[in-house]
Structure 1
Amino acid sequence: MNGEVFFSGWDVVKDRSKTLSADQEPEAGRGYTMYHGTHLANAKKIITNGFERSKDGLLGPGIYVSRNIKKAQCYPLKTDKNEKVVFKLKVRVGKVKKIDSDNHAFQKSWHQNGYDCAWVPPHSNISSIKSGREEDCVWDPKRIKVVDVACCVDQAKRHELRRLIRGDGSKNKHKEASSKSECDICHHDASEGPHDIQNCWHCGKNICPFQDKHLCRN
């Protein structure tokens, strides 16, 4: 019949209006945008080698991050804003434990009890968080990827750090480690297990169920 259109494949439509609000509990296994404030002197080392777990803190050892960029901008405390940088991150939260009160049974032992991340919701009953802003603590540095510089007063330093994040002109170890965990077909994170690569039922091309788009071109 004239005018028939034959189509095989798919195109993922993402609803970008649905973002995780500060009071929504992160879902296990998902990746979220978060922020981390640090001293400008530490920025290159973090980009190149990844984060180092703190020895202690409100939620015990780990890497402290937040979905609230205003909270990240406060750190490091008692540091001039010209010496600060805030990284934009992608964080794979894994299994999450909510800590919402003082002296919580798992406040500093969440990782020993099988959790990958601890989450303090905004306006919790934890007295030491005066701002009421949410906070997260991630155990494994490999769950965190630096994707951009969100804040840096020194524009020249910001451009330099962004080039380092992209890997321009250098071998970025953190970037290399991340690229090895990417699926060759969909280019999404495959660090938690290989993706099931199959042949398309119509054109025979290798496809991955996680790729955003596939169109048969026969």
Structure 2
Amino acid sequence: MELEEIPFSGWTAIEEKKLQAGEKPKDEKVYTMYHGTYLKYVQGIITSGFQRSSDGMLGPGVYVSRNIDKAKCYPLNADKKEAVVLKLKVRVGKVKKIDVDNHPLQKSWHQNGYDSCWVPPNSGITAIKSGREEDCVWDPARIVVVDVACCMDDKTRWDLRKQIRGMNNHGPKDGCSQCHQNTSKTGSHPIQSCWACTKQICPFQKKHVCNKKLRNVRFVS
């Protein structure tokens, strides 16, 4: 094969496009989702992550939705001043569709090898009166808080956003030195040297800019 010239190296991660309503989340992809909760719980979620519920319509897990209006309904019957909707990034893993009442895996999907389950909009689940989609994630480590989507008090929203940015930009004490993700549950990331510029990089970084030019690189067929 002929010698090729590589003018640059590096990468920029491109996020999966937003799915249309009714489309099943694709296995192993990352999606924007929302979670409504009490204001008093938000700081703990930001600093320590979510806690899996002991039970629910879909069994134990963290309940979220790609539909923000669904998240705005929670907590049920809460005063709006005490409620917050968090914007999340969720790595769904292997997804099970649950779309009828008394589905055989409605509460046992995780025990059958799934990481998340998804109830599509306007499904046959009678407990969801709104007809909006719902998701349940087994492992809280698959969820990262990225913003505050709704909060009645502007100052509180600003303070929480500042705290979230601090966690995401600098990472917790157990964070990766390059991508700043929390590695306390997932294990350390493999820090390597870029094959072109030799800069220290992590494969989970969203972006790596490398302008070093390499010439006369031989490709082996």
- Conserved? CA contact 1:183–1:194, under 8 Å: no
Give the CA deviation at 1:71.
0.4
Q: Is it true that 1:119 corresponds to 2:118 in the alignment? A: yes
In structure 2, the CA distance between the partners of 1:207 and 1:26, relative to structure 1 (3 Å rule), is same
Inter-CA distance 12–176: structure 2 relative to 1 (3 Å threshold): closer
How far residue 143 of structure 1 moved from its aligned partner, in angstroms, is 1.0
Aligned to 1:176: 172
What are the ranges of 5 or more consecutive residues in structure 1 without an aligned counterpart?
none
What is the CA-CA distance between 1:146 and the residue it aligns to? 0.8
- Is the contact made by 2:191 and 2:200 (CA closer than 8 Å) also made in structure 1? no
Query: For the Cα contact (< 8 Å) 1:197–1:207, is it kept in 2?
Result: yes
Match of 2:217 in 1: none
Contact kept, 8 Å, 1:55 with 1:61, in 2: the verdict is yes
Instruction: Provide the C-alpha distance between the structure 2 equivalents of 1:150 and 1:71, rounded to a whole number of angstroms.
Output: 13
Secondary structure of the residue aligned to 1:54 is coil
Q: Within 1, Cα distance between the matches of 2:177 and 2:25? A: 24
State the one-letter code of the partner of 2:100.
S
**2:61 matched to which residue of 1?**
62
How far apart are the structure 2 equivalents of 1:15 and 1:163?
24
| 1:36/1:210 CA distance change after superposition, 3 Å | closer
> TM-score, normalised to structure 2's length?
0.79
Comparing 89-98 with 65-74, greater Cα deviation is found at 89-98
Q: 1:205 & 1:166 partners in 2: Cα distance?
A: 25
Q: Which residue, out of 204, 210, 219, partners 1:215?
A: 210
Does the 8 A contact of 1:203 with 1:217 survive in 2? yes
Call closer, same or farther: CA 1:102–1:20 in 2, change over 3 Å: same
Higher relative contact order, chain-length normalized (CA < 8 Å, sep 6+): 2
Query: Kindly tell me: are residues 54 and 137 of structure 1, through their superposed partners in 2, closer, same or farther at Cα, counting changes over 3 Å?
Result: same
Q: In structure 2, what is the equivalent of residue 107 of structure 1?
A: 106
Q: Matches of 1:208 and 1:50 in 2, distance apart?
A: 23
Q: Does 1:138 pair with 2:137? A: yes
Report the 3-state secondary structure (helix = DSSP H, G, I; strand = E; otherwise coil) of the residue aligned with 1:167: helix
After TM superposition, the score normalised by the length of structure 1 is: 0.80
Q: CA RMSD in A?
A: 2.9
Q: Which residue of structure 2 aligns with residue 81 of structure 1?
A: 80
Identity %: 55
Determine helix, strand or coil for the equivalent of 1:101: coil
Displacement, 1:111?
1.0
In 1: Cα distance, 2:63 partner to 2:28 partner: 18
> C-alpha distance in 1, partners of 2:187/2:28?
9
Counterpart-to-counterpart distance in 2, 1:44 and 1:207: 31
Would the aligned equivalents of 1:34 and 1:91 in 2 still touch at CA under 8 Å? yes
Give the CA deviation at 1:189.
Answer: 8.4
Task: Output the amino acid matched with 1:7.
Answer: P
Higher strand share: 2
Residues matched between the structures, number? 204
Q: How far is the alpha carbon of 1:151 from its aligned partner? A: 0.2
Match of 1:152?
Answer: 151
